[in-house]
Amino acid sequence: MAERINVNTRMGSSSYPISIEAGSIRMIGQIAERSASGSNVAIVSNAKVDGLYGATVTNAFRQAGLKPVTHLIGDGERFKNFKTLESTVKFLGENKISRTDLIVALGGGVVGDLAGFAAAIYLRGIRFIQIPTTLLAMIDSSVGGKTGINMDFGKNLVGAFYQPSAVVIDPNVLQTLPKREITAGFCEAVKQGALSGPKLLKQTEDALNNIGQFDRFLADQVRFKASIVAADERESAAKTDAKSRKILNFGHTFGHAIEKVTRYRRFKHGEAVGHGIIFAAELSKKLELLAEDEVKLLNDVVHRTGSLPPLHGIDPSEVFEAFKFDKKNIGKSLQWILLEGIGKPVVKPGSEIPDRILRDTIRAVISR
């Protein structure tokens, strides 16, 4: 039987329901009616997801008396760009989508980030609903209002904080998600488990082993992400405590670096974060913050998510150089997210970590 879980969030500037319920995309019409007063709905998706779920979602809107139109964008990270944004806002204008109408993002994080940004800027902001269809988008990108696009000078560097009106999670859609995408999503779940504490980490392990209630695991992951966003919606530069939104970048400095030096071709983002978690745990141990058994636990759980593309052939000095261009550089110093224990993140200025230790850790992790 379907279980309905509602996470009622207070996200700084706004509050919105996040529902987790098997089969809920069929009921999207009623949810949309509560979110906007207009009758037009612009669905943003890609051909793959639209082919799988577009008809169900479109029919659900029609049954609720709404008028859906669909805009398809290219599939993949490289389409999260200005050109796609332009074609999306043009589509909205040409279809006379008004301020009382609604945008719906149907897809993974690429669709969600781009459609959310279009919603933030079109007519200076219209309502939008996220229907995340990947594990990563369900537990991470659809929650918290970070929207945006990639630029030649870096990923996610143009965007807006713009919260959706609702997030509708239908776990059934994961049945068609390829194995690598499941692994990538689970790596982000391990990240959130490691940051939250032993309970969420254990729930993540259980979900990997098909033990326990999957919907509850999703709900607790979402609750954790929402709690961090509520405390620091705009990732304030000055906030550096354990509740800072920056902590969600755990595993990302090494992750981004290996994505960059392999020209974004070898790893899915979540897979790179998986390696990044192992790196950050190892670095935390070298700095005498994290105990050996907790490093081992994190290693084990990351490896249980699936087989990650290997690190072999990556030049350690290129990785070290890539750290300098990380978004988490504040002024001239990189801020590292490390662990003092499971559930005990710390934000460490790069100036406090000797280059020698960074280089040693990179070499050790790559050569394993």
Q: Which of 19, 24, 58, 133 binds ligand NAD (CB under 6 A)?
A: 133
Task: Report how far residue 134's alpha carbon sits from residue 170's, in angstroms, rounded to the nearest whole number.
Answer: 10
Task: Report how far residue 134's alpha carbon sits from residue 178's, in angstroms, rounded to the nearest whole number.
Answer: 9
- Counting residues that bind ligand NAD (by CB under 6 A) gives 29
- Report the half-sphere exposure of 317 (CA within 13 A, side-chain side): 0
Fill in the DSSP letter of residue 11: B
3-state secondary structure of 154: strand
Rounded to the nearest 5°, which phi and psi values hold at 21? Answer: -155, 125
Q: Is 269 in the site for ligand NAD (CB under 6 A)?
A: yes
Q: Is 189 in the site for ligand NAD (CB under 6 A)?
A: no
Task: Report how far residue 34's alpha carbon sits from residue 143's, in angstroms, rounded to the nearest whole number.
Answer: 19
Q: Which stretch binds ligand NAD (CB under 6 A): 5-13, 15-23, 46-54, 345-353?
A: 46-54
CB of 80 to ligand NAD, least distance (A): 5
Q: Which of 22, 27, 52, 291 binds ligand NAD (CB under 6 A)?
A: 52
Strand order in the sheet with 345-349: 329-330, 333-339, 345-349
CB of 232 to ligand GLY, least distance (A): 9
Q: Is 107 in the site for ligand NAD (CB under 6 A)?
A: yes
Of 77 and 206, CB closest to ligand NAD: 77
Helix (H) or strand (E) holding 71: strand 67-73
Q: Is 48 in the site for ligand NAD (CB under 6 A)?
A: yes
The binder of 256, among ligand NAD, ligand GLY, none, by C-beta within 5 to 8 A per type, is: none
Q: Is 232 in the site for ligand NAD (CB under 6 A)?
A: no
Task: Report how far residue 178's alpha carbon sits from residue 290's, in angstroms, rounded to the nearest whole number.
Answer: 34
- From residue 170, give the alpha-carbon distance in Å to each of 135, 305, 321, 346: 10, 21, 41, 34
Of 192 and 361, CB closest to ligand NAD: 192
Neighbours of 358 (CB within 10 A): 22
Of 144 and 274, CB closest to ligand NAD: 144
Give the residue carrying structure tokens 């993974």: 108
The binder of 245, among ligand NAD, ligand GLY, none, by C-beta within 5 to 8 A per type, is: ligand GLY
CB of 138 to ligand GLY, least distance (A): 13
CA quadruple 340, 345, 348, 354: dihedral sign = positive
The binder of 181, among ligand NAD, ligand GLY, none, by C-beta within 5 to 8 A per type, is: ligand NAD
Q: Which stretch binds ligand NAD (CB under 6 A): 120-128, 139-147, 239-247, 295-303?
A: 139-147
Provide CB contacts within 8 A for 178, sequence distance 6+: none
Q: Which of 176, 307, 333, 351 binds ligand NAD (CB under 6 A)?
A: 176
CB 153 within 8 A of CB 325: no
Footprint of ligand NAD (CB under 6 A): 46, 48-49, 52, 75-77, 80, 107-111, 113, 133-134, 136-137, 140-141, 144, 146, 156, 173, 176-177, 181, 184, 269
